[in-house]
Chain A
Amino acid sequence: ETGVTQTPRHLVMGMTNKKSLKCEQHLGHNAMYWYKQSAKKPLELMFVYSLEERVENNSVPSRFSPECPNSSHLFLHLHTLQPEDSALYLCASSPGLWGTQYFGPGTRLLVL
């Protein structure tokens, strides 16, 4: 285990649902990240938080809304998603901003 946990591990939702993904890191890191991983594509950076402040929003649609209440927890709130949003959503943390990143197991999301 890497010290980064994600829940749920699998999620199926309709296009009108609202759901949230949760990430928790037990490594004492100061930076946390959300990535989207689709088949055959590089990891797509979505959001970056450093010391609980958002430092990067990589042109992500507003139907994805991040929240970082403290340096150990990161949420991704989802609403009115599209089928093309189906992917593996990965959370990572690093000691400092853009340091070596440690990943959670991911949440596999299917949007129907």
Chain B
Amino acid sequence: QKEVEQDPGPLSVPEGAIVSLNCTYSNSAFQYFMWYRQYSRKGPELLMYTYSSGNKEDGRFTAQVDKSSKYISLFIRDSQPSDSATYLCAMSAGTSYDKVIFGPGTSLSVIP
């Protein structure tokens, strides 16, 4: 079993739709969860950062962590064409000995 799994997509939605992007993981020690957005031909950009379980909201973006199910989600409300990118989840147990593990990314296209 891979340590972090993510549906690669591609996911195509109409402008204005609510988008749900998800990752599952196997290591129960993970406590820090991140979402990165990567535009074509650019490096990943940190979008959201959460610790432990619960929700965190930032504008149109909501990150949700369910540690009991080992499942994290990123919701995008009122999606825009500018949201078209690849979204990478990443997670870590959080000590200086624990690597950050990245998912393979989900490609999202928001159609005007």
A residues whose Cβ falls under 8 Å from a Cβ of B: 2, 4, 6, 40-43, 45, 50, 56, 90, 92, 96-98, 100-106, 108
Bound complex: CA of A96 vs CA of B32, how far in Å?
A: 14
- B44 close to A90 (CB less than 8 A): yes
Bound complex: CA of A45 vs CA of B3, how far in Å?
A: 14
Report B84-108 residues with CB < 8 Å from chain A CB: 88, 90, 92, 94-100, 102-105
B residues whose Cβ falls under 8 Å from a Cβ of A: 4, 8, 32, 34, 36, 41-46, 49, 88, 90, 92, 94-100, 102-105
Number of A-B pairs, beta carbon distance below 8 Å: 51
17 contacts between A and B (CB under 8 A): A6-B43, A40-B104, A42-B102, A42-B103, A43-B44, A43-B88, A43-B102, A45-B99, A98-B95, A101-B90, A102-B46, A103-B43, A103-B44, A106-B41, A106-B42, A106-B43, A108-B41
Closest to B94 in A: A98
| Nearest CB of chain A from residue B40's CB, rounded to whole Å | 11
